[in-house]
Amino acid sequence: MIKHIAMWRLKLDEGETREAAFEVIRSTIAAQRGRIPGLLESEAGLNFSTSSKAMDVVVYTVFTDREALRAYHTHPVHLETRAKVDRYLSSGCMVDYEID
């Protein structure tokens, strides 16, 4: 199994809130479930930490194998997700790792 974790800092337009942006991200990530082969789990969380090192959002996904993760990045449903979510992102980082 492969775990894919992404963490993002949000970029908000005037008048937008973290909570509203997160709701778009959360619902869009949730809408991927059952629509992308090899995607076993997905969730998004809004960080409540106020540390200067903290990111705003985390996305946690689990895939059957590395091939499923590779295919995910170019899958049309994931590309739809990116089209909705990327406008809210200013920076981010990710980790992919394999577990037995």
Which pTM does this prediction carry? 0.92
Structure tokens at 26: 């959360």
Domain count for the chain: 1
Range of the domain at 8: 2-98
CA distance 40 to 63: 5
Statement: residue 83 has pLDDT above 90: yes
Q: pLDDT for 16-56, tens place per residue?
A: 999 999 999 999 999 999 999 999 999 999 999 999 999 99
Question: In CATH, what number is assigned to the domain containing residue 26?
Answer: 3.30.70.100
Tell me how crowded residue 58 is: count the other CB atoms within 10 A of its CB.
15
